[in-house]
Chain A
Amino acid sequence: MFANHLLPALINLPALPLAGFWFGEAASTGAQDVDQLFALINWMCLFFFVLIIGMMCVFLFKYMKRDGHKEEWSPSHSNMLEIVWSVIPTLLVALLFVLGFKGFIDMRTPPANAYDIGVTAYKWRFQFDYPNGAQDEELHAVVGQPVRLVQQSNDVLHSLYIPAFRTKMDVVPGRYTYQWFEATKAGTYDLFCAEYCGKDHSNMNSNVVIHETQAEFDAWLAKINTPPDNPIEWGEQLYTRKGCKQCHSTDGTARPGGGPSFQETYGKTHQLIGGGTVVGNENYILDSLRKPQSQIRTGYKGITMPAFPRSLVKDKEVDALIAFIKSLSPDYVPEVETVPEVETPEEEGTIQDEVATESAEEPEPEEEPEVESVEKTDEMPDEEPEESAKENGETP
């Protein structure tokens, strides 16, 4: 009771300015609780700090060595004092423990009506999977709607951190982790990866966009879920959204520490590390995406591109990316030579067919982009289609 009602009332007034100074904007229901507790601890700390340092300073000035001053006798132990300064702090920290515990349980217990959004973390970005199958790099939600994030990692430890909501949870490979929030204000907030995950850890941030109304959110969801008809346009979107942009330029320059430019990719013959060459065709792009370590071009030694399995880039999206990369090639002649849009799907179709014959589990690319990633039970190993694709690539 004390903890439930009286205490917040007690600390509410002085708490807010102090918390407001420390933390940034509070934009979720949980954030306010955290801020209040933080402010309470601050007051407590301030009290003890002033007490200790104040006494230290007073003693320092009062008993500083000077002419005529001599130390005086005083008792060198006092059980009473020891008990006082053991018991009072014990009680206070016990209070903190209880409050922190309560708040923590709230943070760990999502409401029953929470809206699930899947999170897949990989080096070095988050991908959000919405229940209707849409995927995006930004986290979108609606004011007043509790959201539960179901997190999984594709490679190493990450941690999804939204300062404005005061929530954070590690994303651990090999298991699902959860966190939830309920936004109270529309707006755009920062989202960080807080667990060190390698080279581009500091670039693994994103945005949280909170929509004012459900309709607005639905519209966004629908938009994100319907790719543009033109595969090149779609590929260009994916180029940004899937993070290719971070390492691959489109103007022929190689980014420092990144991979080859997309302009230099299609229709050229590339030297590989360890000898051999590869022709920059559709299979090469597919391989580079699904199994990037299998063929590294000379000049890019030691640069490890993460692999993008189906859960991250669907087959249809690969088609679009290939179309986009093709369009960047200097030899590419747009529109006039009749419809690359037609040509591309045709070529991809052959690959798709072969893949499909090998695996019955292959989701039909045409109809539903993918089941919700959380429930995916796709057991099919990545190697098989790639191997077939590689063989394909070697024969011509």
Chain B
Amino acid sequence: MNATADSIDDGGNEPAENYLNCSNTIASWAFTLDHKRIGVMYLVGICIALLLGGLFAMAIRLQLWMPEGMLFDEQMYNEIFTLHGAIMVFLFIIPSVPATFGNFFLPIMLGAKDVAFPRMNLASFYLWVFGTIFFVAAMLFTGLDTGWTFYTPYSAETSKAPVVAATMGVFILGFSSIFTGLNFVVTVNTMRPPGMTWFRMPLFLWSIYATGVIQLLATPVLGITVLLLGAEAVFHIGIFDPRYGGDPVLYQHFFWFYSHPAVYIMILPGMGIISELLPVYCRKPIFGYKFIALSSIAIALLGFLVWGHHMFVSSESTIAAVIFSGLTFSVSIPSGIKVFNWLATMYKGNIHMNTGMCYVMAFMFLFTIGGLTGLHLGTLATDVPLHDTYFVVAHFHYVMMGGALIAFLAGIFHWWPKMFGKMYNEFWGQVSAMLVFIGFNLTFFPQFYLGTLGMPRRYASYEGREGFPISEALVDQFTHLHRVSTGGAFVLATGLVIAAAVLLAALLWGRRAPRNPWGGATLEWTCTSPPIHSNFIDTPSVGDPYFYENMEWDPELGGFKTLPPAKPIETSEHQPAGSE
């Protein structure tokens, strides 16, 4: 990190000291209460989790190259897909955007000095680290093979140690998530400076706020569920295990009561990022601000009413299935509203196709497919054949990965100059976006077809068993599709590696970033790049977060400057703020 410090002061118009170089000891990072440093530490952590989960994903794709499975036996494969799912869901996607960009930018965009409870924020990070070490070690050493959903009775009967350890890990991670969410909700509620009214907040904050509400209300239910599951595995308390009079479907209800809202914990912040980036790159105010803001809240609330759609064929009662199906469709409306508003924002704009915008466009494309295929699954009659097939796998990867991960990438390219004060290479950034987009579609679109053809999830091989081979024509089709998918996965992985390389190279060799390289109007762009320890030199004046008409590209700065009427042009008079 300190590599950035050398070149900071050569511009002459920025303070030499920022949050990265104001102190250097390990302890100053390990015990920092600065939301920005915590955000950066989270960023490092979840990128490691992403790498790990990604490696397991590649292992899965390679395994399915051959109908009989190329690399592993069944047991090993089951452990690998469990690891992939659990790591990606609990360690990567859920904390990804809120814990990194939320932590880093929420107070800044709000105009606050820090989140409401900085110590709790740090505790949240360490809980995440501890939970992660515990969880991954538990899964690696004990061979957890229940799938990330821990469905009973399989999870209660097979082996105790892995299930107990993994549930402990999930429990700890849940606390981390609750702390983060609680911090954000309180910060937004109580720490808005004068002038920052609810409807002047950037949309990213609205989405983070909605996410925080979900984290608060859903995660405790997961906590009690995994506690009861652990008790079931050790003490056989007979709540979830039918051998002892329990009900396995009750477990599914409990589990999805958390895990469906968790889907919105994953995607809402992503939508927030898109709402933030799109107007900046289109140089147009966001269209339908209030509708986008309120649709976030609507999604958060409606998201609690639809968990039953994971269980249409789990022997949930027909009437429950019908009700949940109806409610499920209701969630599609606010999501649709967002997409249409984004489109309208582009109208008559001046679209800058920077790397960030490339990812935004990729998001729009992939999320649209992910959302629309949700209709096939929300419709009861068509869900029945598609449930637990690769159609579902493709659908949720389009939403989770095409949505949350791509938005995360968009955000990281957008805010990298602000976070680390360095510009990256545009060309290679766009190449990475292109490769990720192509690779993604190659990987996951064939899986829709695999699913409709009948390929079930979580299969280590697809040739059938001795005496009962799967029909040859089907195996042929499966093989071709899986191979396209595996090939695509390599393209996708290449794209991600290039993206990482571009960003890391920027840290070392990038040119110094101006304050406002993209011309954003939210408060973080009034800070220095990177921001100083206390975020703002002067108390920021809150304006319209999507008003771009007073900005102008300044080739000398390599960024945008704000014209006099609204705010003074940034000057070199600012003292290095040593305020501590």
A–B contact, 8 Å CB criterion (strictly below): yes
Indicate whether A177 reaches chain B with its CB closer than 8 angstroms: yes
Nearest 9 A/B pairs, CB to CB: A103-B381, A163-B454, A174-B242, A100-B379, A104-B380, A202-B459, A203-B465, A71-B350, A166-B385
CB of B468 within 8 A of CB of A100, answer: no
- Report B301-335 CB contacts with A as 1/0, cut-off 8 Å: 00000000000111100100110011001001100
Which of B228-236, B278-286, B413-421 is near enough to bind chain A? B278-286
CB of B248 within 8 A of CB of A52, answer: no
CB of A199 within 8 A of CB of B74, answer: yes
- Report B374-392 CB contacts with A as 1/0, cut-off 8 Å: 0110111111110111000
CB of B454 within 8 A of CB of A77, answer: no
Indicate whether A65 reaches chain B with its CB closer than 8 angstroms: yes
Q: Provide the bound-state CA to CA distance between A71 and B281, in Å.
A: 11
Q: Provide the bound-state CA to CA distance between A94 and B325, in Å.
A: 10
* CB closest residue in chain B, given A189: B471
* CB closest residue in chain B, given A93: B329
Known contacts A71-B350, A76-B286, A190-B474: does B314 contact A99 (CB below 8 Å)? no
- Report A210-223 CB contacts with B as 1/0, cut-off 8 Å: 00000000000000
Tell me how far the C-beta of B320 lies from the nearest C-beta in chain A, rounded to whole angstroms.
12
Indicate whether A367 reaches chain B with its CB closer than 8 angstroms: no
Chain B residues with CB under 8 Å of A246's CB are 465-466
Which of A38-46, A274-282, A325-333 is near enough to bind chain B? A38-46
Give the contacts of A74-106 with B (CB-CB under 8 A).
74, 76-78, 81-82, 85-86, 89-90, 93-94, 96-97, 99-106
Indicate whether B347 reaches chain A with its CB closer than 8 angstroms: yes
Known contacts A82-B337, A159-B388: does B464 contact A205 (CB below 8 Å)? yes
- Report B482-508 CB contacts with A as 1/0, cut-off 8 Å: 000000000000000000000000000
| Interchain Cβ contacts under 8 Å between A and B, 28 examples | A22-B452, A23-B385, A41-B376, A45-B372, A49-B368, A65-B353, A73-B348, A76-B289, A77-B289, A82-B291, A89-B333, A96-B378, A97-B325, A102-B381, A106-B381, A157-B151, A161-B385, A161-B456, A163-B454, A168-B384, A169-B315, A172-B242, A173-B248, A192-B456, A202-B458, A202-B459, A203-B465, A205-B465
Chain B residues with CB under 8 Å of A41's CB are 375-376, 379, 382
Known contacts A59-B343, A175-B315: does B468 contact A137 (CB below 8 Å)? yes
CB of A163 within 8 A of CB of B453, answer: yes
Tell me how far the C-beta of A287 lies from the nearest C-beta in chain B, rounded to whole angstroms.
21
CB of B468 within 8 A of CB of A207, answer: yes
Q: Provide the bound-state CA to CA distance between A69 and B453, in Å.
A: 48
CB of B75 within 8 A of CB of A199, answer: yes
Q: Provide the bound-state CA to CA distance between A74 and B350, in Å.
A: 12
Which of B152-160, B163-171, B202-210 is near enough to bind chain A? B152-160
Q: Which residues of A contact B (CB under 8 A)?
A: 22-24, 33-34, 37-38, 41-42, 44-45, 48-49, 52-53, 55-56, 59-60, 63-65, 69-74, 76-78, 81-82, 85-86, 89-90, 93-94, 96-97, 99-108, 137-138, 155-157, 159, 161, 163-164, 166-170, 172-175, 177, 188-190, 192-207, 240, 245-246, 256-257
Known contacts A77-B288, A168-B387, A245-B467: does B381 contact A99 (CB below 8 Å)? yes
Chain A residues with CB under 8 Å of B73's CB are 256-257
Tell me how far the C-beta of B270 lies from the nearest C-beta in chain A, rounded to whole angstroms.
17
Q: Provide the bound-state CA to CA distance between A83 and B385, in Å.
A: 34
Q: Provide the bound-state CA to CA distance between A22 and B385, in Å.
A: 12
* CB closest residue in chain B, given A19: B452
Chain A residues with CB under 8 Å of B336's CB are 85-86, 89
Indicate whether B369 reaches chain A with its CB closer than 8 angstroms: yes
Known contacts A85-B340, A188-B471: does B315 contact A59 (CB below 8 Å)? no
Chain B residues with CB under 8 Å of A105's CB are 318
Q: Which residues of B contact A (CB under 8 A)?
A: 69, 73-75, 77-78, 145, 147, 151, 153-154, 157-158, 242-243, 246-249, 282-291, 312-315, 318, 321-322, 325-326, 329, 332-333, 336-337, 339-341, 343-344, 346-353, 361, 364-365, 368-369, 372-373, 375-376, 378-385, 387-389, 449, 452-454, 456-462, 464-468, 470-471, 474, 546, 548
CB of B384 within 8 A of CB of A257, answer: no
Chain A residues with CB under 8 Å of B372's CB are 45, 48-49
Tell me how far the C-beta of A47 lies from the nearest C-beta in chain B, rounded to whole angstroms.
10
* CB closest residue in chain B, given A167: B384
Known contacts A49-B368, A71-B284, A167-B384: does B347 contact A96 (CB below 8 Å)? no
CB of B465 within 8 A of CB of A96, answer: no
CB of A52 within 8 A of CB of B382, answer: no
Chain A residues with CB under 8 Å of B381's CB are 33-34, 37, 99-104, 106-107
Chain A residues with CB under 8 Å of B77's CB are 202
Chain A residues with CB under 8 Å of B285's CB are 76
Tell me how far the C-beta of B337 lies from the nearest C-beta in chain A, rounded to whole angstroms.
6
Known contacts A41-B376, A99-B379: does B351 contact A60 (CB below 8 Å)? yes
Chain B residues with CB under 8 Å of A96's CB are 329, 375, 378-379
Q: Provide the bound-state CA to CA distance between A202 and B81, in Å.
A: 13
Tell me how far the C-beta of B92 lies from the nearest C-beta in chain A, rounded to whole angstroms.
21
* CB closest residue in chain B, given A187: B471
* CB closest residue in chain B, given A177: B315
CB of A205 within 8 A of CB of B468, answer: yes
* CB closest residue in chain A, given B73: A257
* CB closest residue in chain B, given A172: B315
Q: Provide the bound-state CA to CA distance between A290 and B151, in Å.
A: 26
Chain B residues with CB under 8 Å of A73's CB are 348
Tell me how far the C-beta of B13 lies from the nearest C-beta in chain A, rounded to whole angstroms.
27
Chain A residues with CB under 8 Å of B154's CB are 156-157, 196-198
Q: Provide the bound-state CA to CA distance between A60 and B357, in Å.
A: 11
Chain B residues with CB under 8 Å of A48's CB are 368, 372
Known: A56-B343, A89-B336. 10 other contacts (CB 8 A): A49-B369, A63-B349, A63-B351, A64-B351, A82-B291, A85-B336, A170-B315, A196-B147, A199-B74, A202-B69
Q: Provide the bound-state CA to CA distance between A104 and B532, in Å.
A: 59
Q: Provide the bound-state CA to CA distance between A60 and B73, in Å.
A: 48
Q: Provide the bound-state CA to CA distance between A208 and B145, in Å.
A: 29
CB of A101 within 8 A of CB of B453, answer: no
Known contacts A197-B154, A245-B466: does B332 contact A89 (CB below 8 Å)? yes
Q: Provide the bound-state CA to CA distance between A285 and B157, in Å.
A: 25
Q: Provide the bound-state CA to CA distance between A163 and B452, in Å.
A: 8
Tell me how far the C-beta of B238 lies from the nearest C-beta in chain A, rounded to whole angstroms.
11
CB of A166 within 8 A of CB of B375, answer: no
Chain A residues with CB under 8 Å of B289's CB are 76-77
CB of A37 within 8 A of CB of B382, answer: yes
Q: Provide the bound-state CA to CA distance between A155 and B153, in Å.
A: 8
* CB closest residue in chain B, given A206: B468
CB of A93 within 8 A of CB of B332, answer: yes
Chain A residues with CB under 8 Å of B379's CB are 37, 41, 96-97, 99-100
CB of B315 within 8 A of CB of A192, answer: no
Known contacts A77-B288, A102-B381: does B351 contact A56 (CB below 8 Å)? no
CB of A202 within 8 A of CB of B347, answer: no
